[in-house]
Amino acid sequence: MVSGQPYGEIWRLLQRSGAVQVPKSLLISKRERRELVPGSDSTIDRLEARGEFPKRLTLTPGSRAVFWRRHEVENWLRERGVEIPIAPSTGA
């Protein structure tokens, strides 16, 4: 963790290279997806393969680190009647 933000070093490298333009607050990691979405990784993988769950992103070719667009996952949950709590402001 760099500067209190996960993936800090990766983001700095990607931003410098121009490879990524999506602010990280708009992405969630696999760990965060597990906290938000009930179900096993294999269930989510099957839903994703059938087009029934948002597609994952990798930030660099061949990377094992995957992310999802936060708004897509939250919309998917809302469509299923799950209330999304609003995170408290950090004052940043």
Name the burial class of residue 76, with classes exposed (0-12), middle (13-18) and buried (19+) by CB atoms within 10 angstroms of its CB: middle
Q: Where are the domains of the chain?
A: 23-79
Q: Which pTM was predicted?
A: 0.65
**With contact defined as beta carbons under 8 Å apart, do 66 and 57 qualify?**
yes
pLDDT tens per residue, the chain (92 residues)? 334 455 567 766 766 776 655 555 789 999 999 999 988 999 999 999 999 999 999 888 888 899 999 999 999 999 998 877 665 444 44
74/78 Cα distance (integer angstroms): 6
